[in-house]
Amino acid sequence: MSQQVNFLGAAAGNAKQDFYNRAAERSISAQDVSQRLVISANYDLPFGRKRRFLGSAPKAVDFVLGGWQANGIATFQTGTPIQISNGQNALNLFTANQRASSTGVDPWVPGPTSERLTHYFNQAAFFQSGSFQFGTLGRFLPNIRGIGSNNIDASIFKNFHATERFNAQFRAEAFNVANHPYWNNPGTTINDLANFGIITTKGGQRRIMQLGLKLIF
Residue 117 has pLDDT above 90, yes or no: yes
Query: Which residue, among 147, 150, 148, 20, has the nearest Cα to 91 in the 3D structure?
Result: 20
DSSP state of 59: H
Q: Which pLDDT does position 14 carry in this prediction?
A: 58
Residue 2 has pLDDT above 50, yes or no: no
The kind and range of the H/E element at 63 are helix 59-65
- Average pLDDT over every residue of 73-79: 95
pTM for the whole structure: 0.76
Q: Is the pLDDT of residue 4 over 50?
A: no
Residues 100 and 126 sit within 8 Å (Cβ to Cβ): yes
Q: Sorting pLDDT into bands at 50, 70 and 90, what band is 15? A: low
**Mean pLDDT throughout 70-86?**
94
Amino acid letter, 126: F
pLDDT (tens digit, 9 = 90+) per residue, 19-58? 888 888 888 888 899 999 999 999 999 987 777 887 677 8
User: At 106, is the pLDDT very low, low, confident or very high (cuts 50, 70, 90)?
Assistant: very high
Residue 95's pLDDT is 61
Mean pLDDT, to the nearest integer, of 154-160? 92
Q: What is the mean pLDDT of residues 133-155?
A: 92
Q: What span, in angstroms and rounded, lies between the C-alpha atoms of 103 and 15? A: 22
